Amino acid sequence: NFGAGIDHIDVDAAAARKIIVSNTPGVLTEDTADIAMSLILSVSRRVVEGANVVTNGQFKGWTPTWMCGRKLYGKRLGIVGMGRIGQALARRAKAFGMQVHYHNRKPIPDMLAEELGATWWDDLDQMLARMDVISLNCPATKDTHHLLSAQRLTLLQPHAIVINTARGELIDEEALAEALKSKALFGVGLDVFEQEPVVHPGLIGLPNVVLLPHLGSATIEARQDMGDRVIANIMTYQNGHRPPDRVIPAML
C-alpha cells in the first residue's frame, strides 16, 4: 500500500491466504502533524473565514469585536491516538503553549510523556468532556469506527474544536453536522471524510468548518519517501526476505 493506512485492506483474509501486506509508515508523520496543527490554527483563529472576507471584498476595516476567534496558548489539546503522528502533533502543540493530554490503549513511556508534557487519560469520555481541542490521530479499526459518535459529541464543550487528519470513519459525520447546526461546537477541521471523496452536505459552506482534500502527506518529500518505501518492500520480498513494513493482524 502506497500510504500508512490499511483500513481498506482485509489484513486477516490476506494473512489466511499467505498474501503479504506492507505499507509506508513513518515517512509521512511530520507532514500529517503539520496539517493537523494547521487545522487547529485555522479553525481557532478563523483564518479561512477571514481570508474569504478579504477575497470577497467584504473587509471594511478593523473593529474591536469583529472576527474574534480563540487563543491557543494555555488551552487543552486532547489527542486521541498517541502514535508517531500524535506525538509529532504534541510537540507542535507544546511549542504553542498548549496543555497536551492524550487517550491511548496504554500510556506512552514516562520519559516520552515528560518530554511532551503529556497527560494520559484512561477514560476517553472523561477526557473529551474537558478538552478545548480534540484531535483524532488513531487508525481506523472495528473498535474505532464512529469513535466520535453522536453520544460522545454531546460530551464536548460548546467552545470545543474537533480536528480529524486520521480516517473519516472515526467520526459520525451525520451527528457532527447536527452538532454544528445546533452550535454545540466552536468549529471543525477535517482532512478526511467518512465517505471520501464525498463530503457530507451538512459540513459544506459553514464558516466555522475548514475542509481539506486529504492533504496529510501531500508534500513532495513525503510522497517521494513513500514511493521509496514501496520499492524497498517489493525488492526485499523479491530477494526472499521479509518486507521491512509488513503488516500482520497482531499489529492492528
**pLDDT computed for residue 141 by the predictor:** 87
**Catalytic residue (one of 130, 145, 146, 214):** 214
Residue 205: how many CB atoms within 10 A of its CB? 8
The CATH number of the structural domain formed by 29-47+70-211 is 3.40.50.720
- 214 catalytically annotated: yes
Q: Give 241's DSSP letter.
A: S
Nearest of 10, 42, 49 to residue 165 by alpha carbon: 42
Q: pLDDT digits over 175-207, tens only?
A: 999 999 999 999 999 999 999 999 999 999 999
- 84 catalytically annotated: no
Where in the sequence of the chain do the CATH 3.40.50.720 domains occur? 29-47+70-211
Q: Provide the grid cell at 72.
A: 491557543
**pLDDT computed for residue 12 by the predictor:** 93
- 223 catalytically annotated: no
Q: Provide the grid cell at 175.
A: 451527528
Rounded to the nearest 5°, which phi and psi values hold at 22? -135, 160
**pLDDT computed for residue 252 by the predictor:** 63
**Catalytic residue (one of 167, 173, 194, 229):** 167
Q: pLDDT digits over 79-95, tens only?
A: 999 999 999 999 999 99
Please identify every stretch of the chain with a pLDDT value under 70, giving residue numbers as ranges.
252
E strand map for the chain = 21-22, 76-80, 99-103, 118-120, 133-136, 161-164, 187-190, 209-211, 246-247
Nearest of 32, 31, 165, 37 to residue 98 by alpha carbon: 37
Three-class SS state of 118: strand
CA distance 54 to 66: 14
**pLDDT computed for residue 8 by the predictor:** 87
**pLDDT computed for residue 250 by the predictor:** 77
Yes or no: say if 72 and 97 are a contact pair by the CB < 8 Å rule: yes
**pLDDT computed for residue 249 by the predictor:** 86
Yes or no: say if 24 and 229 are a contact pair by the CB < 8 Å rule: yes
Could you tell me the CA-to-CA distances from 162 to 27, 132, 239 in Å, in that order? 25, 9, 45
**Catalytic residue (one of 115, 174, 178, 196):** 196
